[in-house]
Amino acid sequence: MTVKEVLHATEDKLKKSLEFVQRNFAEVRTGRANPALVEGLHVDYYGTPTMLKQLASISVPDAHMLVIQPWDQTAIPEIEKAILKSNLGMTPAVDGKMVRLSVPQLSKERRQELAKVVHKMAEEGRVSLRTVRHESKALLEKLEKDKVVTEDDKFRGIDEIQKMVDRYGLKIEELLKAKEKEVLEL
């Protein structure tokens, strides 16, 4: 394995860490309707746990309403059960062909709690970046010990890894600031 391959693998892992943070942020409810709030819900569809986004189209007719239209109308009772079992804090309104979800406004206290949750998610993302850096650095040190790469190449690789981690850390900070603003604004 070369330094270039290690750097490429490191970049891939850092991208996955960033995507994980983005997915987690998308699931945080902000008082605005967003399909990501319910897409990941698992519905018992003929005995098989199936993600809601695979069973129905999810649309946002306005800022405080989600409309779920299942392709198979017989799934509506199970979709309703899945929503009620989730901790979304929303009650579905069923009208035969679709399920409507009204997204309530959040209280100031709940917004502050969500801001703390978002900060915790960002910190988990930063920990993930540091873990990737540590693993990649250890791999480069092992390659140098095994005489596959030179000491200079190892140090250049470590410097490049640190630059990548810093770049992805800044991206997480930008996401955090945007999500925090979204959560706290009325």
Dist. CA 111–CA 100, nearest whole Å: 23
Which residue intervals of the chain bear CATH 3.30.1360.40? 36-102
Mean pLDDT confidence for 35-62: 88
Reported as a pLDDT band with limits 50, 70 and 90, residue 186 is low
Q: Which residue, chain included where needed, has tokens 């999500």? A: 179
Which residue intervals of the chain bear CATH 1.10.132.20? 3-26+107-184
> Is this model's pTM higher than 0.85 or not?
no
The neighbour count for residue 186, using CB atoms within 10 Å, is: 7
The 10s digit of each residue's pLDDT in 71-91 is: 998 889 999 888 888 767 778
Dist. CA 134–CA 130, nearest whole Å: 6
Q: Which of 166, 142, 167 is nearest to 154 (CA)?
A: 142
Fold of 3-26+107-184: Topoisomerase I; Chain A, domain 4 (1.10.132)
> What CATH architecture does domain 36-102 belong to?
2-Layer Sandwich (3.30)
The 10s digit of each residue's pLDDT in 111-154 is: 888 888 899 999 999 999 999 999 999 999 999 999 999 999 99
